[in-house]
Amino acid sequence: MVVTVSPRLSSVEFPPIAEALSWVNGRQSNRELLNLCQAVPSYPPAETLQDEFARLVHLPGMGGYTEILGITELREAFASHLASSYAARVASKDVGITTGCNQAFAAAVMAIAEPGDNIIMPAPYYFNHQMWLGMLGVAITPISAFSPGGAWPSAADAKAAITPKTRAIMLCTPNNPSGAIYPASVLKEFYDVAREADIALIIDETYKDFRPDATPAHALLNEPDWRDRLIQLFSFSKIYALAGYRLGAMVAGAEVMHQATKVLDTMTICPPQVSQRGVLFALKELDEWKQGKKALMAERLAAMRAAFTKPGLKYELISSGAYFAYVKHPFEGEGSRVVAKRLAQEHDVLCLPGAMFGEGQEDYLRFAFANVDKDKMSLLAERLIESQGA
C-alpha cells in the first residue's frame, strides 16, 4: 500500500533552485557556465571570521543548545546594530535569532495567520514565501510589484485588496526577485494602510546592507506603535557570506515573538550556537570588510546595467539592485521555463524563469548576479544576443 501524502503539500511546487540546477546536470559544453541562478555571494567569509569559527568549534559546550530565541549577547548586538542603522530604539527583547530568514518568515506567518486567511504580496514574489504559505493553506492575494511611480508596489492597491481574512501585507526590500529598493515614504504608506486595517506589515530586509547609501531604509521602527504592527525579517547569509551557516533574525512585538517562539522551538529548538557566536564576532569586527563587499556588489550591479545597453540586445532590464536583475525576454508567446531552460542548455546561462515568482510572470527572467564577476557581464550580454538567433 502506498502512503498517502498531503494534498496541500503536493500542490506546492518543487524547490525552484533544485529544478533549475537539474537543467545543467551532466552538461557537455566546453564553455564556462554563467550561473545567475541562486543568490549566493562568490566570495568566502572574511578570513578573520573563518579563524573565529575554527576557534569556536573547540570551545566546551559549543555543540549544545542555546536559548530558543538565541544567545543574549547576539540579540543585544543585533538590536544595537538596528538602532544605529535605523536611528531607532530597538531592544534585545524585540529580537529573535532564527535558523535562517526563511524560518523567521515561517514563524512570523504561523504566529498571525491560519488556514483560509490571506496575505497580500506584490508579484513577482520570492518563491519560498509562496511555498510556505501554500503549505499552511494561507492564500496569497497578489498586487503588482510595479506602479506608475516606480519599481515598487502601490499602497493603494494593497488597501483595495484587503478582506476580512487578510492578516498581513508582505514586502521585500531590496526586492527578491526584482532588486528594487522601496523608498521610505512608500514603506510608510504601507504601514499606514496596515495600521488602518489592523493587520501586520511584514518586511523582509535580507538585502538591506546592499542599499546604495547609508541613510536609514525607513523610519518605521520609530513609530510609537511599531511593536503592535511591524514584523521585520533579516538574514546574515548574504552580507557575511554565511549562507550555509543558516542564521537569520526576526524583529517583532512581545505577543508575536511569544507565539513565534513555539514555532522556533518545534522546528530547530535553537539556532546553531557556532553560527550565533560567529555572527556576534562579525557584527563587532567586520564593518570595514562589509563595506568592501557592498562596494563590490555595487560594481557588479553597474556592470550588469551597462551590459543591458549593448547594441542588438533585445532583452529588457525592468528593474535591478542589490543582488538581482529582473529582465523581460524577447520571445513573445514562449513560457519563461522554456526560455530559461534553453538559455541554460544551449547558451550556458543559468537563470530562473519568471513563472517561479508567481502568476503573470511568463515574460520575465531573474538574474542573480552576486556570484558573477563584473568582467563577465559583457559576456552575459553576448550570450543573450546569441540566444536571439539570426
**What does R_g of the chain's alpha carbons equal in angstroms?**
21
Same domain, 218 and 362: no
- 207 in helix, strand or coil? coil
- Domain count for the chain: 2
The label of the residue with cell 494561507 reads: 138
Per-residue pLDDT tens listing for the chain (390 residues):
789 999 999 999 999 999 999 999 988 889 999 999 999 998 999 999 999 999 999 999 999 999 999 999 999 999 999 999 999 999 999 999 999 999 999 999 999 999 999 999 999 999 999 999 999 999 999 999 999 888 999 999 999 999 999 999 999 999 999 999 999 999 999 999 999 999 999 999 999 999 998 899 999 999 999 999 999 999 999 999 999 999 999 999 999 999 999 999 999 999 999 999 999 999 999 999 999 999 999 999 999 999 999 999 999 999 999 999 999 999 999 999 999 999 999 999 999 999 999 999 999 999 999 989 999 999 999 999 999 986
Whether 70 is covered by a domain: the verdict is yes
- Which CATH number goes with the domain that contains 356? 3.90.1150.10
Residue 309 falls in which region: left (phi positive, over 0), alpha (psi -120 to 50) or beta: alpha
Q: Is residue 35 in some structural domain?
A: yes
CA 300, 306, 308: angle at the middle one, nearest 5? 110
Residue pair 96/69 in contact (Cβ under 8 Å)? The answer is yes
Residue that finishes a domain, picked among 235, 260, 285: 285
Strands, sheet with 118-123, edge to edge from the N-terminal-most edge strand: 95-98, 248-251, 230-235, 200-204, 166-172, 118-123, 139-144
User: Is 227 in the same domain as 295?
Assistant: no
* 301 and 216 together in one domain: no
Query: Are 296 and 281 in a shared domain?
Result: no
Question: Could you tell me the residue range of the domain that residue 142 belongs to?
Answer: 62-285
Question: Is the CA virtual torsion 352, 356, 360, 362 positive or negative?
Answer: positive
Which domain-ending residue is among 240, 263, 285? Answer: 285
CA angle 38, 39, 44 (to 5 degrees): 110
Q: Is residue 57 part of a domain?
A: no
In a domain, 182, yes or no: yes
d(CA 40, CA 198): 36
> Does any domain span residue 305?
yes
Q: Is 57 helix (H, G, I), strand (E, B) or coil?
A: coil
H/E element holding 98? strand 95-98
Within a domain: residue 55?
no
User: What grid cell was written down for 71?
Assistant: 544567545
In a domain, 167, yes or no: yes
Q: Which of 12, 2, 41 is nearest to 245 (CA)?
A: 41
Do 104 and 15 fall within a single domain?
no
Show which of 265, 285, 305 is a domain's final residue.
Answer: 285
Domain of 204: which CATH number?
Answer: 3.40.640.10
Measured in residues, the chain has a length of 390
User: Do 22 and 82 belong together in one domain?
Assistant: no
Same domain, 274 and 346: no
CB neighbour class for 73 (10 Å; exposed up to 12, middle 13-18, buried from 19): middle
What CA–CA distance (Å, rounded) separates 183 from 342? 36
Same domain, 352 and 383: yes
Q: Is 352 contained in some domain?
A: yes
Do 144 and 178 fall within a single domain? yes
Q: Are both 259 and 315 inside the same structural domain?
A: no
27 and 90, same domain (yes or no): no
Q: Are residues 162 and 293 in the same domain?
A: no
